[in-house]
Structures are given as structure tokens and as C-alpha cells.
Amino acid sequence: MQTDILSKQLTENGFAHINDFYSSITPNELHKIEFMQYWNDLVCDENFKEYTDRERRILRYNLFSGSSFVLELNEDNVYKSSVTYDIKYKKGGNRLTYADDGFVNNDILQQIIFRDWTILQGKLDCCPYTLDIHQFRVKSEQGKLSPTTSGVHQDGFDWIFMHYINSSNTIPVISGIYENKEDVSLMYKTQMNIFLETLVVNDRRLYHKASGVQQLDPGVVAFRDLLLVTFTKYA
């Protein structure tokens, strides 16, 4: 993972696909397995339960300046999106379950956050940012399709890192980057299936979407796990 090449791609294209993100951190195989286990203890995303079968936890930090890596834990678990989605869900504040203490202090997680910040160097202003970190699991059972995202959309952040964690018994989930909110504006698509394979997106400039989670074997629950790390300037 060459940071200078990624930085150039983000400047020119507004997004980057990183296959080898895992190579930039230093866990052994046991630590990797332990990290993935944190997705087995997520909680139903109540605000979206009529739209999809999704489990979630949140972790938050204040970044005092984009130019220096000084973080302060923010334990506010009420997530208020700056955008609305054209789907069936409960709008307004979403009181989420906070991340497990072991996850917060996990070495792999902390390396991921630092690498994400490093990739954005030169693109973050010398002002405070919020870092929202979401663990997501989207599940499918009884033959149902569980949407992964709310169509082609933006989330109201400055930058989004979508880190693939794991999946089981699911048909391929395709992630797409779009120039605008129309499906015909697709710029790039990929199926992420490598641990920590990553899409980075300028969420002010571009749009994104992922296809839904659906079972391969109808008798076995399917799931897809993702780690989302976002950077947003203080309002």
C-alpha cells in the first residue's frame, strides 16, 4: 500500500480501492481471528429494522486537527445523520450501542484508524474533525434479501473508509462508486472479499452503493461484516 499513489488517486478520482490494506498493519493470524469475533456481538439497528436485517455498534473520536493525530474518545452514542434517505426507516437520532471496550482498545483497530488518517494527509484541514466508526453486520435468512445501503447515496461525511471484514454464505455483494445519484453514473464496481480490503470515497464529491445480502444456501444464515471509518469537519 503506497500512500503517495493512493493520495494521488483520491485527488484525481475522488476514490481509491485498496486490496492490500492488511499488509500495512502487523497482526498475526490469531489476532486477526480475534478481531473478527467482535462482529459476533453487535446489536439490532432499531431505526432500520423495517428496512433491513442489520446489526451495529458505534465508536467515536474527536480529532483535534486534521494535521495531527491526537484523538479524544467521544462516548456519545446518539448518532444523528446530516442526511435523510428515501427508504422506510425511523428518522432522527439513532441511539446506538457503544463499542465493546476490548474493541476500542484493540491494536488492529487502532492501526486501521491511524492508517486511514495517514492516507488522508494533505486532504484534511487544520481544523477539528469527528471520527465515526461503525461496525456493521447485514444478515439474510429465510430467503430474504437484506439491503446493504439505501440505494445510490451520500452519507454527509467528508471521507468514508469502507473496510471489508468477513462474510458467509452470501451471493457476491458488489460495491459501486457513482458520479451522481443515478445508477447510470456508475464509475467503478468491485466485490470486496479480502480481510481489510478497502474502498475510500470522497463523500462530498461522489456517491456509493452496495448490493444486498442474500443467501447462497437457503438453509444457512448469510452475513456480511464491514467496518466504516468516517472523517467529518466539525459543523
Confidence at 74, pLDDT banded by 50, 70, 90: very high
- Which CATH number does the domain housing residue 193 bear? 2.60.120.620
Number of domains composing the chain: 1
**pLDDT tens, position by position, 179-203:** 999 999 999 999 999 999 999 999 9
Phi, psi values for residue 37, rounded to 5°: -65, -20
DSSP for 136-164, please give it.
Answer: EEEEE-TT--B-SSSSSB--S-SEEEEEE
Quote the CA–CA distance of 85 and 151 in Å, as a whole number: 9
Confidence (pLDDT) at 1: 67
CA distance 146 to 141: 9
Considering only CA atoms, which of 147, 157, 169, 167 is closest in space to residue 45? 147
Residue 16 pLDDT more than 90? yes
Q: Give the pTM.
A: 0.96
Domain that holds residue 88: 3-233
Helical spans, DSSP H, in the chain: 3-13, 29-36, 101-104, 107-119
Contact between residue 194 and residue 22 where contact means Cβ atoms under 8 Å apart? yes
